[in-house]
């Protein structure tokens, strides 16, 4: 099998290593590697195969185009060109799948070639293939997951080593976990895109990532970590979705998870995806969600599927867009932090509106309360009352999930 690789960064070089490590087992020939700037790669192997001209890749009789550039442009154009030329495509690009998955799957069907994207969700974890193939005998009704290695790394370092947010992000960038623009990671876009891909495949309905409720980790600070410890919890960026009565509810947001929860055990760049199927029950997939070799392994597995002629239906991407609710109507608890506030008045409102509450801190210049309510709507309503009456300037809310 002759392949052209677009991109020779973290994942591109990881894939090349995995191909070389398995040379004796499978025959995959790297024909060309497209980069932006050849001078950056002088010390790397296969320098002679590097090009900055996309036509060099397409004019070399390739069977598969492996897109590992990232982002929408020029990746979209190159992938469409490949599919239209009846060349199979493997990609790790969740931005592209979440935004243009429908037209790319349609184009691949029309041209009778595959588009595969195992590495786009959960890095090295084989999760899409089990979802598409092994769990076909199930109706899946819920997913909860840690889907971004960079943010999980940052939150773990802040919690376990008291590292600052900025220093932890810098480490994640050096280790190759973060996106070219790390805003995608820390603002939660990357996790939302991945959750939309998982939900689309799991619920056989197109779930569009911009319809999800979305909150990133940029407001989380050292004080949140202190409160989390006080509550025997950790803070995780969690993606959750549920399918009920033809409606999906889905969110990506930082939450408190109890130390005994399976999510709390997944630290650093590791990811976890937990799905619930009506036949199989609850299933968990855990592993490295980012990084060179782990992601290279997932890309390689897609190449083997193409080499061995294994293809499975991913037509859920071509379905019409399903309605998405942003809030799940569950009983819930939340940590509320009020700054520059009238403490007694706020406690009075909370007492009137909530089932129950515990004050964590009213000594400093802030009031921190753990509230327990029938739903998040109830919490939001009491926050509206507090704001309307002018009892505080700002409030941070962190839900606790069980
Ligand atoms: P990197 O930034 O490390 O590498 C990107 C590569 O693409 C570089 O070699 C760069 O060339 C090349 N490139 C960028 N723009 C162009 C262009 N216009 N034309 C030609 N080449 C270009 O990215 P990653 O390897 O981290 O990510 C690649 C993809 O994999 C992304 O979609 C990402 O979301 C996804 N992914 C990443 C994971 C990770 O752990 N990093 C895990 C799972 C998925 P040059 O080197 O010359 O600048
Ligand atoms: N930036 C992504 C992450 C890479 O940190 O999870 C893997 O998709």
Q: Which domains does the chain have, with CATH numbers?
A: 2-120 (3.40.50.720), 134-288 (3.30.360.10), 332-401 (3.30.70.1150)
Omega prior to 330 cis, within 30 of 0: no
DSSP tag of 206? B
Find the residues whose C-beta lies inside 6 A of ligand 2. 123, 148-150, 177-179, 185, 190, 289-290
pLDDT score of 261 more than 80: yes
pLDDT score of 328 more than 70: no
Active-site annotation holds for 194: yes
**For 16-41, what is each residue's pLDDT tens digit?**
999 999 999 999 999 999 999 999 99
Report pLDDT for 277.
97
Separation CA 125–CA 61 (nearest Å): 31
- Token code pair at residue 59: 């004019």
- pLDDT, greater one: 340 or 71: 71
Report pLDDT for 337.
97
Q: Which helix (H) or strand (E) holds 334?
A: strand 332-339
pTM for this entry: 0.97
124 phi/psi in degrees, rounded to 5: -80, -5
Report pLDDT for 363.
85
**What's the CA-to-centroid distance between 68 and ligand 1, angstroms?**
5
The pLDDT-based confidence of 87 (bands split at 50, 70, 90) is very high
pLDDT score of 74 more than 90: yes
**For 227-246, what is each residue's pLDDT tens digit?**
999 999 999 999 999 999 88
Find the residues whose C-beta lies inside 6 A of ligand 1. 7-12, 34-37, 40, 68-70, 74, 92-93, 119, 123, 176-177, 179-180, 290-291, 295
Angle between helices 10-21 and 292-307 (to 10 degrees): 60
Mean pLDDT, range 186-206, rounded to an integer: 97
């Amino acid at each position: 099998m002759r392949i052209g690789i677009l991109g020779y960064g973290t994942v591109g070089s990881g894939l090349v290593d995995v191909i070389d490590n398995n040379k004796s087992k499978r025959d995959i020939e790297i024909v060309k590697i497209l980069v932006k700037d050849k001078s950056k790669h002088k010390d790397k192997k296969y320098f002679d195969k590097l090009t900055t001209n996309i036509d060099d890749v397409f004019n070399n009789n390739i069977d598969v185009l492996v897109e590992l550039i990232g982002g929408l442009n020029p990746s979209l154009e190159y992938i469409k060109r490949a599919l239209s030329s009846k060349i199979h495509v493997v990609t790790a690009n969740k931005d592209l799948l979440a935004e243009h998955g429908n037209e790319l799957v349609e184009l691949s069907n029309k041209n009778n070639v595959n588009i595969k994207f195992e590495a786009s969700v959960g890095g090295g974890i084989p999760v899409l293939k089990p979802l598409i193939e092994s769990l076909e005998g199930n109706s899946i009704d819920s997913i909860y997951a840690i889907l971004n290695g960079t943010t999980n790394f940052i939150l773990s370092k802040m919690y376990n080593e008291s590292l600052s947010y900025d220093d932890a992000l810098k480490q994640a960038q050096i280790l190759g976990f973060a996106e070219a623009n790390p805003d995608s990671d820390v603002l939660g876009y990357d996790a939302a895109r991945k959750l939309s891909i998982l939900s689309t495949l799991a619920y056989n309905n197109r779930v569009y990532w911009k319809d999800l409720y979305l909150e990133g980790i940029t407001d989380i600070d050292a004080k949140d970590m202190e409160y989390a410890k006080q509550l025997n919890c950790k803070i995780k960026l969690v993606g959750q979705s549920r399918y009920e009565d033809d409606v999906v509810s889905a969110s990506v947001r930082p939450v408190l998870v109890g130390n005994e929860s399976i999510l709390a055990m997944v630290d650093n760049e590791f990811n976890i995806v937990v799905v619930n199927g009506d036949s199989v029950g609850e299933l968990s997939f855990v592993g490295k969600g980012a990084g060179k070799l782990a992601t290279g392994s997932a890309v390689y597995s897609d190449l083997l599927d193409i080499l061995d002629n294994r293809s499975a239906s991913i037509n859920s991407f071509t379905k019409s867009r399903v309605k998405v609710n942003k809030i799940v109507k569950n009983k819930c608890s939340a940590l509320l932090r009020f700054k520059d506030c009238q403490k007694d008045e706020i406690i009075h409102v909370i007492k009137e509106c909530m089932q129950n509450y515990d004050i964590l801190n009213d000594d400093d210049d802030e009031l921190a309360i753990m509230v327990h309510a029938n739903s998040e709507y109830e919490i939001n309503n009491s926050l509206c009352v507090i704001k309307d009456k002018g009892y505080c300037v700002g409030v941070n809310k962190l839900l606790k999930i069980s």
